[in-house]
Amino acid sequence: MLRRRAGGESVEQIQPDLIIPTGKRKGQNPSVASIYRALAEHAKREAYPEAVEQAHADFAALQIGEVPGPRGTDEVPQMLGAVQ
């Protein structure tokens, strides 16, 4: 899908060739809105790979019973007037 989109095809042209592999709508075509959501999600992952890696690490820690600690102070904006 990404290759065809980069090649200039519209989402509406790509949609009939896509098939949902599992779930309630198995065997049907995804909606145009679903395709746009998938493209947006892909673009977000490409733009912020470090956020995706951190989310995966946090999830893995939660799965083994660890609670991830707070982020560094440079990563978390301080609230004005907060008690420290």
- Give the pLDDT of residue 39: 92
Half-sphere exposure of 65 (CA within 13 A, CB side): 0
- Give the pLDDT of residue 62: 86
Instruction: Give pairs for 5-11: CB < 8 Å, separation 24+.
Output: 5/39, 11/35, 11/36, 11/39
- Work out the end-to-end distance of the chain between its first and last CA atoms, rounded to an integer number of angstroms: 50
Q: pLDDT tens digits for the chain (84 residues)?
A: 888 888 899 999 999 999 999 999 999 999 999 999 999 999 988 888 888 888 888 888 888 877 766 666 555 555 555 555
Q: How far is residue 60's CA from residue 30's CA, in Å, rounded to a whole number? A: 30
